[in-house]
A and B are shown apart, each in its own frame.
Chain A
């Protein structure tokens, strides 16, 4: 029996209260409990976190890198969604 039978987990850490959990890496573990304990030992040896999420990598759905251009096209072409698109006279304050 090998460790490759252990599923791969993605590790997310909240570094402090008020910040979001951020992906830091992955590890292998037989179950969620051990994945959390391993994540603590591997990724938080120097007070890097106050909360850990682990998610089995197989449960993550991602956008297709080859389709990225067309997938994100709607957000790239609409420059009028940015405040800098609009001209405002110099004297206008608090805007």
Chain B
């Protein structure tokens, strides 16, 4: 079969909503796009543990602590599902992780912002996980089978993340004036970075068109961002928090909320590594890898020893 014939058949499958599985023929660029996107997604889950992990020992009570611990453990699991999905495409897990450490591969920029107060943890659950869910629900129908299956599993678990965050903020918003102010301050700092999570605008997005044609993505960055804004407005109202955007208002004609232009300079600065925590995050990941080396070596040595005993 010629390359053109294979490509035609491949696109036909995509049109018919037939999932692509690991051993199926696929264009090299489809494979590379998926490896880039899935690994970036996996890195985000892993780096996402860092700002929250910092707060486990400082959670205000045992219930919140147990919840946060469970949430962070979920993120580790999500990272693993996604690395596994990337491996089905022939990617080398170790290499993917090293690519993040050298800066060749990216992770979600949102994790380059610090979690300064306890209210940030609730806000991360509500807005950051909320934005992630908006993206991930759309990805449950992505054309690559292992990625779609990983996303289904992740979405099921992720909704607890958003709800616990919202509940935690609800408590603060109904608390003392200081607690309420702390929640508003967190909202002010996280709102714009959360909108940036959907990536560059459609006009600027380099990968969008082809990804939509291949049904890796089902909606564009701007479409998802709009859905997120629309969903967040009433959620903020119920909390009694103000969204920090003077231009946010309902547009009857569009059937959507209008909102201000995003500060794209800030977005690109953070993507390029100049956000508040980029260096700290990578340093923490590198340290974890190096400090954990002896554990991995010990596990190998133990496995070998046990195998020898068995064969003896």
A30 touches B303 (CB 8 A): yes
* Binding stretch for chain B, among A39-47, A71-79, A84-92: A39-47
Query: Does B80 make an interface contact (CB < 8 A)?
Result: yes
Chain A's interface size range is 20 to 34
Number of interface residues of B (CB under 8 A): 29
B303 touches A31 (CB 8 A): yes
A25 and B293 contact, Cβ closer than 8 Å, known pairs A8-B87, A34-B303 = no
Selected contact of A25 from candidates B25, B94, B150, B296, CB within 8 Å: B150
Interface of A is mostly: mixed
Query: Does A65 make an interface contact (CB < 8 A)?
Result: yes
Which residue from chain B places its CB closest to the CB of A46 in the assembled complex? B157
Which chain B residues in 72-107 approach chain A with CB under 8 Å?
A: 73-74, 77, 80-81, 84, 87-88, 92-94
A42 to B77, CA, bound (A): 5
Query: Does B302 make an interface contact (CB < 8 A)?
Result: yes
A27 to B84, CA, bound (A): 6
A65 touches B84 (CB 8 A): no
Query: Does B283 make an interface contact (CB < 8 A)?
Result: no
A30 touches B302 (CB 8 A): yes
A42 to B93, CA, bound (A): 17
Q: Please list the residues of chain A having a beta carbon within 8 angstroms of any beta carbon in chain B.
A: 1-6, 8, 25-31, 33-34, 41-43, 45-46, 62, 65-66
Q: List 19 A-B contacts (CB under 8 A).
A: A1-B293, A1-B297, A1-B300, A3-B93, A5-B300, A25-B81, A26-B87, A26-B88, A29-B299, A31-B302, A31-B307, A33-B306, A34-B303, A42-B77, A45-B73, A45-B74, A46-B157, A65-B23, A66-B25
